[in-house]
Amino acid sequence: MERTINQISTNKKIFYIFILCFSVFIAADDQTVIVTLLPSMTVDLGIAVGELNKVSWTITSYLLGFTIVMPIAGKICDKYGYRTTLISSLLFFSMGSFLVAITVNIPEMSIFPSKLNWLIIFRFLQAMGGGAIVPISIATVSIILEKKYWIYGFGLIGASAEAGGVIGPLWGSLILKIWNWPGAFYINIPLSLLMIVMIMYMPKSNKHSMKIKLIDTILFSLILIVSTIIISEFKVLDLGQIVLISILLILVITVFYRLTKLKQDLIPEELFRYPTFVWAFITHLLIGSSLIIIMVTIPLSASTLYQLDTMVIGLSLLKLTAFIGIGSIIGILTNRFSAAFTLILASCLTSAGIFLYSENISTPTNELNIIFYIIGLGYGLFIVPIHNIGLFSINEKIRGITSSMISLSRMLGMIFGLSLMTTIGTARFADLVTGIQVFSLDPTIQTKINQEINFAGLEVFKEILIGSFVFSILTLLTAVYLSFVYVRIKKSS
């Protein structure tokens, strides 16, 4: 494969990278497009006010599906080649998109799940197709480009993923103006089919003989799902929670037994012999935990504390996400100078930006431009060195699963951060508003009530941001150690 690819012209390689970037963009777009679609979806799906807290699961389920499929997608990529796996992923993503779009037409029957539950299930299936695209594309870059050009490919893939997140909310708003919310999912189908046709022109890659057992993937998926439910839905330690915790312990013990006594299939054991991979995984997990808190805090605080317009909120997010993309491009240049320097610089910028945000949470969101630029730039700078260092010295036959695991770590962090934020934030807000009168006919008293509730919300968001800052400091510590390990290994190789 390496020899064949080296004979392909530079223009064709650029064309192949474009195909990968656009495929990643389509999948990443659907992570955030739902934010602006949710109000219309709740009306059309007949979601009651009492179920509005469950709507967050339309986002969580997508993150879960995105995460669960990554390890198995990497192994399938290594076994059957990137082209076959990428085409299959796009077909699965299209099918999931179609099912999400037709959710509104499902009849309401007591013997079947509600439309909301169907939506959560279909979003999960859609994400399983989309989640496979990112690691496969990153692994493909490491195959179709020579090693010295990896940083350019990783940077472009990372920028495409972030660009999808940037465009998502704005794309959703545009769709609602000219069509309806199912249209945002229907349109994925022709786009995916177009990508499939283009992928057919890409060269095939080497296939590697390996067994794929589903048992380890199933166990991992169950642990992730049960853990998320426990963290997200925890209020008091009741019988339901005890049952879930017991199930989780059984699953963890089973996985531990398979890891120590039996030959597990999910993750190649040799991966753990690469300290650069292990610490890149840990660092990326912490990055995801802090990032999701920032991504959720910006729109929530903007709408609840300052009642900003949807478009203004979207532009506030754009300031952050656009600079993540810019940071990934800058990371290509700084990584040429030093991957370790880029990693530490990214950590410092992220920590500084989050600290400034927590100290200025009382300032309207649309006035925090510089802070969002700093945070976005920091997160963007992480993208290239994390994958470049994580894939350092990795054999081609396990490069797909390695790429999947590095991508998976960030998603794990996002799920953990979002679940923790939801649980702690909800409980903390309930404590702060306890005893506050909710409504009064006296305008003066009602104004005072609103101020008290607003102050409670302000405190909650500040405490949540402090949690994100803690994650960023931990990221800085692991990034410094990862850089030290990488430099030492690079000198000795």
Q: If you ran DSSP here, which 8-state letter would residue 434 be given?
A: T
- Are residues 418 and 307 part of one domain? yes
- Are residues 180 and 306 part of one domain? no
- Are residues 396 and 256 part of one domain? no
Check residue 1 and give its pLDDT: 45
Is residue 366 helix, strand or coil?
helix
- Are residues 472 and 440 part of one domain? yes
**C-alpha closest to that of 371 among 454, 306, 302, 298:** 298
Whole-angstrom distance between the N-terminal and C-terminal Cα of the chain?
24
Q: What is the pLDDT along the chain (493 residues), one digit of tens a residue?
A: 444 555 666 777 888 888 888 888 888 787 777 766 766 776 776 665 445 556 667 777 887 887 777 777 767 777 777 788 888 889 989 998 999 888 877 776 655 667 777 888 888 888 888 877 877 887 777 777 777 777 677 777 777 876 777 677 677 777 877 888 888 889 889 988 998 888 887 777 666 566 666 677 778 778 878 877 777 666 666 777 788 888 888 888 887 777 666 665 566 667 778 888 889 999 999 998 898 888 778 877 776 777 776 667 767 777 887 788 788 888 888 888 888 899 999 999 999 999 999 999 888 888 888 999 999 999 989 988 888 888 787 776 676 667 767 877 887 888 778 777 766 766 665 565 555 555 555 566 556 655 666 677 788 888 889 989 999 999 999 999 999 988 888 888 6
Q: Which of 141, 175, 210 is the last residue of a domain?
A: 210
Check residue 473 and give its pLDDT: 95
Check which CATH number belongs to the domain holding 325 and give it: 1.20.1250.20
- Rounded Cα distance between 137 and 159, Å, is 13
Q: How many folded domains does the chain comprise? A: 3
Check residue 112 and give its pLDDT: 63
Check residue 472 and give its pLDDT: 94
**DSSP string for residues in 270-298:** GGGG-HHHHHHHHHHHHHHHHHHHHHHHH
Domain range holding 159? Answer: 1-210
- Are residues 37 and 173 part of one domain? yes
- Rounded Cα distance between 463 and 477, Å, is 21
φ and ψ of 72, to 5 deg: -70, -30
Count of helix runs (H) and strand runs (E) in the chain: 17, 0
- Are residues 318 and 227 part of one domain? no
- Are residues 421 and 302 part of one domain? yes
Distances (CA, A) of 309 to 179, 240, 257, 306, 366: 21, 40, 53, 9, 10
Check residue 311 and give its pLDDT: 67
Distances (CA, A) of 123 to 163, 168, 185, 373, 421: 21, 15, 10, 31, 22
Q: If you ran DSSP here, which 8-state letter would residue 206 be given?
A: -
- Are residues 429 and 413 part of one domain? yes
Q: Cα angle at 408 between 405 and 409, to 5 degrees?
A: 90
- Are residues 392 and 327 part of one domain? yes
- Rounded Cα distance between 79 and 38, Å, is 39
pTM above 0.85, yes or no: no
- Are residues 476 and 377 part of one domain? yes
Q: Which of 194, 210, 226 is the last residue of a domain?
A: 210
Q: Contact at 8 Å (CB) between 404 and 70? A: yes
- Rounded Cα distance between 490 and 472, Å, is 26
- Are residues 105 and 250 part of one domain? no
- Are residues 306 and 203 part of one domain? no
Q: Which of 167, 186, 210 is the last residue of a domain?
A: 210
